[in-house]
A and B are shown apart, each in its own frame.
Chain A
Amino acid sequence: MILSLEASSVTVAYPNGHTALRDATFKLGAGTIAALVGINGSGKSTLFKALMGFVKPVKGQIHIAGLSVEQARKQKLVAYVPQSEEVDWTFPVSVWDVVMMGRYGHMNFLRIPSAEDKRVVSESLERVGMKEYQERQIGELSGGQKKRVFLARALAQSGQIILLDEPFTGVDVTTEEAIIALLRTLRDEGRIILVSTHNLGSVPEFCDQVVLVNRTVLASGPLEEVFTEQNLRQAFGGALRQFHFEHSTIQDHDGKTVKLLTDDERPLVFGKDGHLEYKDRSGREDLVNKRKEEVGE
């Protein structure tokens, strides 16, 4: 089986007549972290629902590894990591119990965990660094820990396509980096990670593909090609705030550096001629070298 995720002319309309998504087309191959970027109400969650089979497109098709959504679900290919608000945290269940719920699809009618199920749950907890919290009641966790528990559940489900809904809201920076590191190893295992987010600045840090949505798919493809100022303006319209560093701001006596502070979300910074500025340069040595050549160093 070759992993892929393909949507062709997907149109989703709700019973109240509202068309949430029209003619959405994109394709993702194995081993990628893709950002699903758009404003609230742009159809991100509708697209997720369609990928999970919660809503049926009135037109168009979705293929997951060449299979229909229904078949893919039977093979447990798709795992979903929800936003924290979607779940009641006062429930009397432990971290272990929640991750074990990811194994339900692999269990028999009575859902009695086998030794294999326990091994997978334990391993998944280990991977997200939550093993020592396994006995905790879930309400006692911090925002970032809650996220990691859900991620562990998706791993336990052995999902090959992992859908994450706004994974970095309410998460501290350390956890955010831990989650990103984990997503990278999952990508390197050949999985497809699709991350829904409106946090633009984090996208260049860990995504290699981008799907821009606004009631339809405006553009999709490699980060450098799609994540441009022009495309983003189209996707966000007036909802995008911007701050231009005029040439005069960056004087030689500043050592050509300016400091940019934001409260929670990472800023997205474009350099001259609209090339993306990366905070994390590891693995991008070729880009750094290219820039050096350009200025003749």
Chain B
Amino acid sequence: MNLLTPLEYDYMLKAILVSGLIGAVCAFLSCFITLKGWSLMGDALSHAVVPGVSLAWLAGLPFSLGAFIAGVIAAITMGWLKRKSGLREDAVIGIVFTSWFALGLLLLSLFPSHLNLKTIILGNILAISDPDILQVVVIAGISILVLALKWRDLLLYCFDEAHARSLGMNTSFLHFLLLALLSATAVAALQTVGACLVVAMLVTPGATAYLLTDRFGRMLGMATAIGAGCSVLGAYLSYFINGSTGGCIVVLQTLVFLLALVFAPKHGLLASRRIRRLAASNLA
């Protein structure tokens, strides 16, 4: 077996590169999502984008535009419903994302689009078409640009919203910006790992990096490296084991997370055990 075989196939090369790009963007954003406590929101938006795919196909628009708009509308609906109904946030998210996802399933079964149901839900990066690659690259590029320019403002917004406001920052805009980025990256990741697993790409790398460092700058770097690395490696390995690419990527990310959970120098399970022992022996 030749280790370079996958790279000789055009479709594999594309899959590996696109996965790496999406993995990097999702991971960068995951740092904000985990710190802001929006993991559930990420899950919700990745499902809520589905009806947009179908409607965009019917309207003859790029699928990502439809999906993005659907995600943003879902996010606005959640905010509105929470304010008006007085229900708890998890209930609101549960209601909105399942109804949007159900609508998506219904539309896709009635009006088949260029992406079939299985691709949208489970992902199929190996069969991604060139126009779709272009869409993904454009979304990822814009997201990276916005994040690179505005990450400090977003960090302050997540950390201390009142202070951000008192400095005259537009916190409603930053809130919306973060939601829009979340929708956009969920759309970009749709074809790689599918709606069901997008949330893993949007949470796991950030959570892993959080265990490994106490500095936000380093957290961004580590998460991005983990996200991109696992995605590239996962897509590459899926060729050999002939398994689902999305599954491969997310399993790898989870493995890295588990390693960090046990062995992280300061916040890992072993480290806290060591600290407890040390404290106990100091007492004795």
Contacts and interface: CB of A to CB of B under 8 A. Distances in A.
Interface of A: 52-54, 73-74, 76, 78-80, 82, 86-88, 91-94, 97-98, 101, 104-105, 109-111, 137, 153, 157
Contact of A79 (B159, B166, B210): B166
B89 interface: no
B219 A92 contact: yes
Interface of B: 35, 149, 152-153, 155-156, 158-160, 162-163, 165-169, 210, 213-216, 219
Given A87-B160, A93-B159, 4 more contacts: A54-B166, A73-B167, A88-B159, A91-B35
Contacts of A110: 149, 152
Contact of B163 (A73, A74, A82, A92): A82
Contacts of B213: 92
Given A92-B210, A109-B149, A101 B216 contact: no
A105 B35 CA distance: 23
A53 B171 CA distance: 13
6 contacts: A73-B168, A74-B168, A76-B167, A92-B35, A93-B159, A104-B152
Most buried by A among B155, B162, B163: B163
Contacts of A52: 165-166
Nearest to A96: B215
A269 B278 CA distance: 47
A80 B159 contact: no
A54 B214 contact: no
Contacts of B214: 92, 94, 137
Contact of B165 (A54, A74, A137, A153): A54
Contacts of A78: 166
Q: Which 5 A-B pairs have the closest CB atoms?
A: A137-B214, A111-B152, A105-B167, A52-B166, A92-B214
B271 to A, nearest CB: 14
Nearest to A93: B216
Contacts, number: 64
Nearest to A105: B167
Contact of A82 (B152, B162, B216): B162
A125 to B, nearest CB: 17
Most buried by B among A92, A98, A111: A92
B153 A101 contact: no
Contact of A97 (B162, B166, B210, B216): B216
Contacts of A97: 215-216
Contact of B215 (A74, A86, A87, A94): A94
Nearest to A140: B214
Nearest to B219: A92
Nearest to B165: A54
A46 B175 CA distance: 23
Contacts of B168: 73-74, 105
Contact of A86 (B153, B162, B210): B162
Contacts of B155: 93
A207 to B, nearest CB: 23
A76 B155 CA distance: 20
B163 A101 contact: yes
A76 B167 CA distance: 7
Contacts of B35: 88, 91-92
Nearest to A103: B167
B178 to A, nearest CB: 16
Given A91-B35, A105-B168, A80 B215 contact: no
Contacts of A101: 156, 159-160, 163
Contacts of A93: 155, 159, 215-216
Most buried by B among A76, A91, A98, A157: A91
Nearest to A81: B163
A158 to B, nearest CB: 12
A169 B284 CA distance: 33
A94 B165 CA distance: 21
A92 B209 CA distance: 10
A137 B212 CA distance: 13
Most buried by A among B149, B153, B168, B214: B214
A68 B197 CA distance: 50
A76 B219 CA distance: 31
Contacts of B215: 92-94, 97
A82 B160 contact: yes
A54 B219 CA distance: 32
A73 B166 contact: yes
A33 B35 CA distance: 36
A91 B159 contact: yes
A132 to B, nearest CB: 17
A249 B227 CA distance: 73
Contacts of A94: 214-215
Contacts of A87: 159-160
A137 B215 CA distance: 8
Contacts of A54: 162, 165-166
A193 to B, nearest CB: 16
A249 B158 CA distance: 56
Contacts of B159: 87-88, 91, 93, 98, 101
B33 to A, nearest CB: 14
A139 to B, nearest CB: 8
B216 A104 contact: no
